[in-house]
Chain A
């Protein structure tokens, strides 16, 4: 569809925003058609860049008057297609709403705008000795609005909990155009926990325009250990042993052989490229406790024939984390595309499920890399492929389905932190019964009766299946 100046929707949007912040060039709309997921071919309608709550309300009002859906977007780093626009909706981009509104260091609360970059917030808080705990691997670019949308996790969420545990309140523009505050920055609200329902709702309940985040004090001492093992089993057993020993590290991350090579090639942090798996363990707290816990973790690793390296300074620690956090982006050194899963399995079944993943991938003649939050059993198998190879997508999707089924079979769940989006929407019935799905749909309609906020995501309605299939990367049948 071409947008002309006389288009009534455009006319209304340009009443709300100056014309250089409502963009309709075909190229820009196609660029906005994708995020960091595998879905290509989504297509945005008018792309709006509001800078205030009032402007977001104006965009929503205009879209509603013209029966157009609204899709919110932050930095576009989502991995499940949550920000991919279907059916040319109005796309509301938060990147220009990127200010830190206020900091209360005593109460450890800050109000931020949704387009603020996760790491920029923690950098701005450094003078107070505080930070925002959830640290997704994409934290140097992902936005806080997106973190709220997906209830994002990150390596350091093992001990401290994911985004929902760090969001006290959210100012939200509902599809009626009304602006409401869900939750309370003081930390206590009577009645329904609407804030809890909102965090992780993937843009289907409204558009976030401000967030009250809980701030975490920087730990006085930190120790980071890099453990290397000759087998994935030994690595997985060590992870279980650490937790069983009563230690709750700040983070436990695992990477297998192929990804270690790609990451080391980029950062040069001295990751052992001959190891079958490495485990990064970080313990923090008071100096005495940290030293004792680090010693105990090292013992448990050595008992399982692991080798141990301790980061000697902040620089070495930062390099190890840089390696871990660039893993997904490093894939193109091997193949130009990847399909990433995000299932969570009970920690005690980690080794078993990982071995199944390797078998599934072999069966489908594919390559896999694993880099994941081992401490909470959150797997991230990356299936590598070159989309230009004929017939490859069928194999990738078949292997993906088998991995999901294997994870659910041991009592796991579909997604740990990336969200459902388009990617896992039609796997939802594998995990939820009809009554569960109906309850979720009714919650959504309580906020958005017309289903105009980010339609076609998360809940398998069948309404947009044709279009999802038309995105070109999804074979017939996968979406049911």
Chain B
């Protein structure tokens, strides 16, 4: 199996032997024990060292410490990484792999000549434009003019319900693609949070995108600009609830990325919506007639489990409304990885195959995943997958 390196860089930039800009102490912090290997989805499906965290660190050292030129195989090693960060909790030495990979991607982004992501991701920061484009895409989809599955796209709704603020106790972060393509999930999350007794405030267009996709593509400047806008749009001191694991992980790391006291204070207010709900357990409404008769397998999104390490709260909340089973694959990634499924379709599909086997072994009726990327990627393989709070919303007895 090979990784795609369609975002190649020019020969001069490749040969440039300047360092990758990775923190030297971080790069020195791996003892090469290999305990990360089985927790890396790309190593699991290839069995090849270049597609493992240890191999990637070794490759970074070759370039940064030993002056090896960036070449096609280096790009393949880096671009094949899903950035799931499953290696981080597995590492007894706490090697900050995500931070090293972000630094590497930022340097590669500077060297790449053509990268559609540089322009494409700009749309995400403009809510009106993104909504218009999504509506057009929805029409084109209905006319069967785009190969949606091959592109990894979900069925985009033609009409979206309008969300209305109900108070100022908490913010509900709505984000970019999820708001444009899966707003009904936000509606469910909002109803459940309100049922737990909180008035929900909705951010204006300034908080149009958290910047996660840009950050993972190494487009640091764009990511930082989006972060600054998002922080401004979500001012105040109330908790910021997030129903997308990928967005929540980045919002929680603004403090680390921007390094300002405001960013640190902002990140401290960010909670995954399930974390917040689990802390209000006594306020949660009771189960209606439709609850409990369904068996749900929880797929932990990587950025909820490995980065936020808050995945237990999904089970805590969901188990009140449904019979919950856990998958036996120790939280291995599903291969979605934001834009990864579109960039590396072959690897993403192999990784998903392992996940499908785990889902089959669980014997569950449906799968719950608290991240839009995972739900789209798994649904494209025919899995009945929903956001946990959609299942909760359906099970709650709002009249009871």
Where the two chains meet, the residues of A that have a C-beta atom closer than 8 Å to any C-beta of B are 20, 23, 25-28, 30-32, 34-36, 49, 75-77, 93, 95-96, 98, 115, 117, 119-120, 138, 140-142, 262-263, 266, 326-333, 336-338, 386, 388
- Write out the residue numbers on chain B whose beta carbons fall within 8 Å of the beta carbon of A262: 92
B133 at the interface (CB under 8 A from A): no
User: Are A49 and B48 interface neighbours, CB within 8 A?
Assistant: yes
A30 touches which one: B2, B33, B68 (CB < 8 A)?
B68
B32 at the interface (CB under 8 A from A): yes
Docked pose: A93 CA to B138 CA in angstroms: 47
- Write out the residue numbers on chain B whose beta carbons fall within 8 Å of the beta carbon of A76: 34, 49, 54
Considering the complex, give the chain A residue whose CB is closest to the CB of B29.
Answer: A332
Please give the distance in Å from A417's CB to the nearest CB on chain B.
16
B268 at the interface (CB under 8 A from A): no
Please give the distance in Å from A172's CB to the nearest CB on chain B.
21
Are A388 and B28 CB-contacts (below 8 A) given A20-B2, A138-B34, A141-B38? yes
Most buried by B among A36, A115, A141, A331: A141
User: Are B37 and A329 interface neighbours, CB within 8 A?
Assistant: no
- Write out the residue numbers on chain A whose beta carbons fall within 8 Å of the beta carbon of B93: 266, 329-333
A330 touches which one: B2, B30, B54, B92 (CB < 8 A)?
B92
The stretch from B69-77, B237-245, B274-282, B312-320 touching chain A is B69-77
User: Are B47 and A138 interface neighbours, CB within 8 A?
Assistant: no
Are A95 and B48 CB-contacts (below 8 A) given A75-B37, A141-B35? yes
Docked pose: A93 CA to B55 CA in angstroms: 14
Please classify the interface of chain B as helix (H, G, I), strand (E, B), loop, or mixed, using the class held by over half of its residues.
loop
A and B contact pairs by CB, cutoff 8 A, 7 listed: A27-B68, A30-B62, A98-B47, A266-B93, A330-B92, A332-B29, A337-B31
B171 at the interface (CB under 8 A from A): no
Docked pose: A120 CA to B48 CA in angstroms: 17
B172 at the interface (CB under 8 A from A): no
B95 at the interface (CB under 8 A from A): yes
Docked pose: A337 CA to B31 CA in angstroms: 6
Where the two chains meet, the residues of B that have a C-beta atom closer than 8 Å to any C-beta of A are 1-2, 28-35, 37-38, 47-50, 54-55, 58-59, 62, 68, 71-74, 77, 91-95
Docked pose: A336 CA to B47 CA in angstroms: 26
Are A31 and B38 CB-contacts (below 8 A) given A36-B33, A266-B92, A332-B31? no
- Write out the residue numbers on chain A whose beta carbons fall within 8 Å of the beta carbon of B47: 49, 93, 95-96, 98, 115
Docked pose: A53 CA to B49 CA in angstroms: 21
B62 touches which one: A27, A36, A138 (CB < 8 A)?
A27
Docked pose: A141 CA to B59 CA in angstroms: 20
Are A266 and B31 CB-contacts (below 8 A) given A75-B37, A140-B38? no
Are A28 and B31 CB-contacts (below 8 A) given A141-B37, A332-B93? no
Docked pose: A338 CA to B29 CA in angstroms: 12
A27 touches which one: B1, B29, B48, B71 (CB < 8 A)?
B71
- Write out the residue numbers on chain A whose beta carbons fall within 8 Å of the beta carbon of B34: 36, 75-77, 138, 141-142
Are A328 and B73 CB-contacts (below 8 A) given A93-B47, A98-B47? no
Docked pose: A142 CA to B49 CA in angstroms: 13
- Write out the residue numbers on chain A whose beta carbons fall within 8 Å of the beta carbon of B95: 332
Please give the distance in Å from A418's CB to the nearest CB on chain B.
13
Considering the complex, give the chain B residue whose CB is closest to the CB of A78.
Answer: B34
Docked pose: A28 CA to B47 CA in angstroms: 13
- Write out the residue numbers on chain B whose beta carbons fall within 8 Å of the beta carbon of A30: 58, 62, 68
Most buried by A among B30, B47, B94, B95: B47
Docked pose: A49 CA to B324 CA in angstroms: 40
Please give the distance in Å from B233's CB to the nearest CB on chain A.
37
- Write out the residue numbers on chain A whose beta carbons fall within 8 Å of the beta carbon of B62: 27, 30-31
Docked pose: A148 CA to B62 CA in angstroms: 31
